[in-house]
Amino acid sequence: MGEGNAPTKLSFRVIACTSAEPDYPPSELNHHGPQTKGWQSSKFCEYPQEIVVQLKSTSPTIQQIQLLSHQSKISSKVEIFVGRDYRKRESEKVVASRIEFKRLGYTRLDPNDRSGYKARELKTIHVSAEGQFVKFVLQKCHVNTKNLYNQVGLIGVNFLGVEQSAATAMTEEENVDAMVAGEPAKRPSPYDDIAFELQIDAESAGKIKELAADKERAVADEDYDTAKKLKKEIEKLKEVGMAVAKLEAKKKKAVADEDYDTAKNLKMEIERLRNGGVQQQQMPAHFSQPPPVQHAPVVAVPESVLPTVPETAEGVGSPAVSHTSSATAGVAAISLLPADEVNERGGSERGGVHVGGGGEEGVVQPPLGFGSVAPPSNVAHDERVIPTMTDPTLRDQIWKEMETKEG
């Protein structure tokens, strides 16, 4: 029986988009970090807006797609398409309008008015699709007082999956056999999650990933004393990384305001934290005591899938591109709620799971074609609330989830 690889982060670059604000170009999506500004469409743009991404792997199987929406410039609906490389030679220039896409499905984004536009919605969409290109089609924006120019924006996108090869590919039959045998699916590292990368400064994030790899090796060697020490070091670095990210943001603002004395003091504080100062002083309570994770449960799509129907859509700055669309599978997703309200109203109409009979709300459809190795019932998505960096009272609640994934 073949052995599947654990999903890892897939490198990518944006190769086309319909429009962009000069200060928020699509290239902002190519990297993740606390200072990432993200992409925004032009003011009073026409809809839909499209973004085309090229994965750097030559034959990846995408297993998760993550979308982090802007807190107020929010698309009402995002459609997702996957396409294969049509080129005969890698040196040939990519032309977005020549890529033939197939539609995976779509998801809806919450208007976010209940958070006062102080949180960002993170969608993690579970798929199983082969292809080197991904296209996001963003429909009209939610109208609100914070979005005066009717724009849409994404703070970040992320892709997790495996690079298929003759040595590592897992056939559909082997994949089904593994599930029947009760073998647990290999989960991606929590440190490849976009929420982690947007909350921790790059230097600390790199060190955490190195220590996590060392910890995994120690566990494999049954050296549990070393694994315990490394776990503590990772926890310290998480605290340092979040603190440094906040200080870096303040330092950047101080420099922009030409307040160089403050910038110098912040630089010294950052250096002290990075050099181990966190061990010599009490960290603020909101760093040392992260609240529990609150996110929506996974919503599975039924195995029965309606037949595909032909569909056409405008390419990125090009004539119409032909692709195939799967029909609605009829599963509704969970609306975003503030963390404390989710806890209280987990099964309510606002916070619970809604399963519809053919309705559109929040549907993410199973991938069709491209040799999908997972049954349709594996296709699902979940949501999390990611606080904006400007609001210290709302923090991302991912650390316990990360510990659960590690364990």
The CATH number of the domain holding residue 376 is 2.60.120.260
Exposed, middle or buried: residue 383 (CB in 10 Å: 0-12, 13-18, 19+)?
A: buried
> Looking at the structure, do residues 129 and 238 belong to the same domain, yes or no?
no
Closest to 308 measured CA to CA, from 325, 323, 287, 291:
325
Q: Which domain holds residue 34?
A: 8-186+291-393
Model pLDDT, residue 93: 80
Q: Do residues 251 and 266 make contact, with C-beta atoms less than 8 angstroms apart?
A: yes
Half-sphere exposure of 160 (CA within 13 A, CB side): 22
Closest to 213 measured CA to CA, from 200, 226, 198:
226
Model pLDDT, residue 98: 86
Instruction: Count how many domains the chain has.
Output: 2
Task: Tell me phi and psi for residue 96, to 5 degrees.
Answer: -60, -35
Which of 234, 262, 288 is the endpoint of a domain?
288
Model pLDDT, residue 209: 92
Tokens describing residue 57 = 């792997």
> Looking at the structure, do residues 152 and 276 belong to the same domain, yes or no?
no
Model pLDDT, residue 387: 58
Which of 253, 288, 323 is the endpoint of a domain?
288
Q: Do residues 207 and 276 make contact, with C-beta atoms less than 8 angstroms apart?
A: no
Closest to 274 measured CA to CA, from 197, 203, 199, 198:
203
Model pLDDT, residue 381: 58
Considering the domain boundaries, does residue 87 fall inside one? Answer: yes
> Looking at the structure, do residues 363 and 296 belong to the same domain, yes or no?
yes
Which of 288, 319, 346 is the endpoint of a domain?
288
> Looking at the structure, do residues 284 and 151 belong to the same domain, yes or no?
no
Segments of the chain scoring below 50 in pLDDT: 1-3, 166-167, 169, 172, 178-179, 181, 277-379, 389-399
